[in-house]
Amino acid sequence: YVTPTLLGDIINPRDLVLLITPIDTEAPAGRMILPQVQAIRDTIDNDAIAVVLKESEVEAFFEKVSVKPSLAVTDSQIFAKANKLVPEDVPLTSYSILLARLKGNFDAYLKGTPAISELKDGDRVLLLESCSHHSTCDDIGRVKIPRWIKGFTNKEVEFDVVAGLDKLPRDIMEYSLVIQCGGCMITQKQLINRLHSAIEEGIPVTNYGMAIAYVQGIYRRAIAPFVK
């Protein structure tokens, strides 16, 4: 039996892995969010070196440290900023995309993400959040992703957000795209079951991190560590 791994098949022992962890309004006080903790643990479990820092220290890191990271991982919400700060010769991805590959139907996500470009006025997008967290004024699923998609497509797209494992507000066939969060709080089986009906009906599916990378123009870089 091979234990599933976030990073084990894309890093080597003694590699330096840069883990960018913004402390924003959604960050829990006094601790880190689960995907960040999982990435740290997986890096250590694979005998690599984890360097954890905020985005405000990334520039200083590259000025002071001569060793080039084998991989940089960022929170998807600051993808655009990280893309500018992390040199182009350093592979860059996000915690959400790591989880998408570990738990989700990654091939379906790769196929479905470009459907964002095909959204039309009046299309409806379903955002699936697997936990029931307290939403903020700048919530990733309820505020940021809808804003970024509307800005990218320049279309009047409608959004439904479903938290936890609640029932969908309408038939799955009414959606033109389904965007699933990383799913750090649910099992792989629950996540796959959640998306099963959409995939069966041929509705494009993607993941928070992959969708954000796509609309911010850095999709190819973000998936490059996993696509040979």
Domain ranges of the chain: 16-99+219-226, 101-215
Please report how the helices 95-103 and 34-45 are oriented relative to each other, as an axis angle in degrees rounded to 10.
70
Average of per-residue pLDDT values in the chain: 90
The topology (CATH level 3) of 16-99+219-226 is Rossmann fold (3.40.50)
Rounded-to-integer distance, Cα 210 and Cα 82, Å: 15
Rounded-to-integer distance, Cα 147 and Cα 136, Å: 15
The pLDDT tens digits of the residues spanning 86-119 come to: 999 999 999 999 999 998 889 999 999 999 999 9
The pLDDT tens digits of the residues spanning 5-14 come to: 899 999 999 9
Looking at per-residue pLDDT, the higher value among 20 and 187 belongs to 20
* Identical topology for domains 16-99+219-226 and 101-215: yes
Q: What is the CATH number of domain 101-215?
A: 3.40.50.11410
Cβ atoms of 39 and 2 within 8 Å: the answer is: no
- Say whether pTM exceeds 0.75: yes
Looking at per-residue pLDDT, the higher value among 215 and 182 belongs to 215
> Percent of the chain beyond pLDDT 70?
93
The pLDDT, as a whole number, for residue 32 is: 86
How many C-beta atoms lie closer than 10 Å to residue 16's C-beta? Answer: 18
